[in-house]
Structures are given as structure tokens and as C-alpha cells.
Amino acid sequence: MSSNHDIEKDLHGPERQFAITTWAVNNRTTVIVLTILICIMGIRAYVVMPKVSFPEVVTPEVFIGTPYNSSSVVDIEKLITKPIEKELNTISGVDEIKSTSVPNFSSIHIKFDYNVSPTEALRKVKDAVDKARGDSNFPTDLPAEPNVFEMNFSELMPVMNINLSGDYPVEQLHEYAKHLEDRIEDLTEINKVEIRGVPEREVKVSVDLPAMEMLQLNFDDIANALRSENLTMSGGDILTKDQRRSVRVIGEFTDMEQIRNIVVKNEGQREVRLRDVADVSFGFKEPESFAREYGKSVVMLDVIKRAGENLLDASDKINAIIKEDHGTVLPKDLVITLTGDQSDQTRVSVAELMNHIVLGVILVVGVLMLFLGLRNAVFVGLAIPMSMF
């Protein structure tokens, strides 16, 4: 004779079970421990997660800039650009290579497939440049090393401007700015600091046109003489027993008299020196940019953050450095102001996000309490922040 339980089972059909739900109900302790671990890892991830105002755009593009003292575009193309391009063509994952050769400079732009990471792309290009330079036909008298760098848009714009002003000469403000530059660049979150508003020094050569005409000189003669004399070049290698020593011929100018005494032309038995046809002085370069605050000239530091680092941590550390040094290393009457601080907007955005999350949880719990009761509403409210983790 069938029992009442069997009759109900026949009426309602076979009992249905959900594997995940059944496992969770039967293993309460394990579920609680997993929930706590998820919350801890989620909170930690939120704390260490980089917080910035704008998303970082990282593209696998690499640029190569190589200077070479040659006014001939053909020489630049043949000696610099083509050998490097030849090695670049052996790299896997390259999508496009563009090059430009101009007098005294070679520029190459390499685009990689997006499945190649920027770090890997940069490493491959550097290896290719080293192989090209190892060729016996590649010039060894480059005025500077080839500049290989990746394009990172997040490291183009400053995240903060630090302005220095006060009753001090520009040279003294520049010294204070260099001190802050060294301190701030030591931070792991900072890529570099650029100083603006300080006029740069340069050597000015003011030629005497009548004297040049009389001696049959032109501007190219003077420019070529200055360029050829102000040059440090490789002298090759010297093998001594088991050692190989590199030799460099240093010929860069160290004082004004050396510049005035360079020979620009040999006129028979007479040497025509630069001082005979030009006045050489040490002055200020024509400014390319100005740094002002409320119409007053200042020395400005542009702080550029490293990609992938936390903007809020960088801002807090910079403010701590300024607070620590102001009144000790830096004088108290030195006026230090911050402008263009992107961390302010980021802090507001993060605070608004947290407020919206809390308000959303409160509204959900309040509405569910009216229909499902307090217990079910609390469970759903706790599940909302956990779903974010």
C-alpha cells in the first residue's frame, strides 16, 4: 500500500535539484570561507588598482631616431636608414614600417600587430638596431646613440604642474626646481619631470657681413667649421694583450675662446679665424614657451606619470615631498602652487562611484524588503558588492 509521501511524489513528479545550490547548502562552512576570501581579494584589488581620469591607450608602435653628421639625404638613406630597415624586416609581428631621411637625421616608425605587447615590440626593435650597428659598413662616428622609444599616449601629457615663484632670480628658482625634479623622479609612479619657464643659454655668433664679403666667406663656411670642430668621435679600438680598449677623440668646445679661435678659412699663408668675421657671445636662447600664473612669470615643473601607476598615490607622495622640503631645503617664502592636478577630478569620480554603489544597494534592499522580507533583501544586498569583486 503506497504511503502519502509516495502519492505526493507521483502527483508532483520527480524532485528537481540544482547541483550548485545543493552543494552550497550542504557545505556552509566552505561557502562562508570562500565568500570571505573573495571579499578580501576584491578589497585588495580595489586598493591597488590604478586610478586615473582617462583610460590609458597603449599601442605597439616604436620609433627610431638616429642623428648623423651628413648633409646628404642619400648618405643618410644608404648608411643609416636602409641597414636598420633590413634588420627590422626580419622581426615577426611587424605590420608596417615607415622611414624618413632628412639631412643629419633618420627617422623610422614601426607598427606591430596588436597581439604583440609594447614591451616585446620595443625589445625586438632594440635588438634589430644593435644588429644593424654591428655591421662593418654602419657608421661608427654617430654624434649620439640611436633613440629607440615606444609611443605611449598616457605619458605625453602632465598630470600635475608645480609652479615656483617668489622674490628670487630665475636662476635660483631653477635650482629649487631641479631639487624637486630629482626628488619627484625618484618615485616609482613618475616617468619624468620637465622644467619650463627657464630661459636656456646659448652661444650667439653675430657675423660681420662686410668682413665676410671681403674674405669671400659664406654662412655655410662658418657653420661647417663650427660643426666639424665641436665633435666627439670614435677613434676605434686598441688591442692590448687580452683587453680591448675603445678610443674617443674629444673635440667639443669647453670655453668661448676655443670658439673664437677656430679656423674658418685658410687664405694663403693666413688663417681666418671666427673672431675676425664675427662676434661670439654667451646669451639666452629665444624662448619657445612661457610659464605664467596669474600673469606672473614662474618656473613650472610638468609631472608626467608612468603608465599603469596609481595617479592618487603619485599625487599624495608629491604633496608629501613638497610639505617635507618646504621650509627646510626650500625657503618658507618660496611660493609653491599646484595647477592642472588631475588627481582632484579622479578623487571626485571615485567618491561619486562609491556613493552610487552605496545608494544602489540601499534602494535595492529597501524595495526587496517590501516584497520578499528583510532576510532575502539582505542576501541580495550583500550579493551586489560581491558581484563586483
Q: Is 352 exposed, middle or buried (0-12, 13-18, 19+ CB in 10 A)?
A: exposed
- Domain ranges for the chain, please list them: 4-48, 58-154, 157-199+288-340, 201-284, 346-388
Q: In the prediction, which pLDDT does 3 show?
A: 54
The tens digit of pLDDT for each residue in 77-96 reads 999 999 999 999 999 889 99
Q: Is 176 exposed, middle or buried (0-12, 13-18, 19+ CB in 10 A)?
A: buried
Are 58-154 and 157-199+288-340 equal in CATH topology? yes
Contact at 8 Å (CB) between 46 and 104? no
The x, y and z cell numbers of residue 184, run together, are 619627484
Question: What single DSSP character describes residue 330?
Answer: B
pTM exceeding 0.85: no
3-state secondary structure at position 361 = helix
Single-letter code of the amino acid located at 213: E
Q: Which three cell numbers stand for residue 211?
A: 668682413
pLDDT score recorded for residue 1: 47
* CA atoms of 303 and 276, how far apart (whole Å): 46
The CATH class, in words, for 201-284 is: alpha beta
CA dihedral 226, 227, 231, 233 (to 10 degrees): -150
C-alpha–C-alpha distance, residues 140 and 12, integer Å:
90
| Residue 28: predicted pLDDT | 82
**What is the fold, at CATH topology level, of the domain defined by 58-154?**
Alpha-Beta Plaits (3.30.70)
**b vs e for 269-303, b when ≥16 Cβ sit within 10 Å of the residue's Cβ?**
eeebebebbbebeeeeeeeeeebebeeeebbbbbb
Which one is the CATH code of 157-199+288-340: 3.30.572.10, 3.40.1160.10, 3.40.50.2300, 3.30.70.1320?
Answer: 3.30.70.1320
Number of neighbours of residue 82 by Cβ within 10 angstroms: 14
**DSSP assignment string, 270-315:** EEEEHHHHEEEEEEEPPPS---EETTEE-EEEEEEEPTTS-HHHHH
Residue tagged 664675427 (cell numbers):
278
DSSP run (H or E) holding 1: none
Instruction: Give the residues of the chain that fall short of pLDDT 70.
Output: 1-18, 54-57, 71, 153, 232-237, 241-242, 244, 246-249, 251, 287-288, 290, 388-389
Q: What are phi and psi of 95, to 5 degrees?
A: -95, -40
Amino acid at 222: I
Long-range contacts of 326-332 (CB under 8 A, 24+ apart): 329/179, 330/176, 330/179, 330/180, 331/166
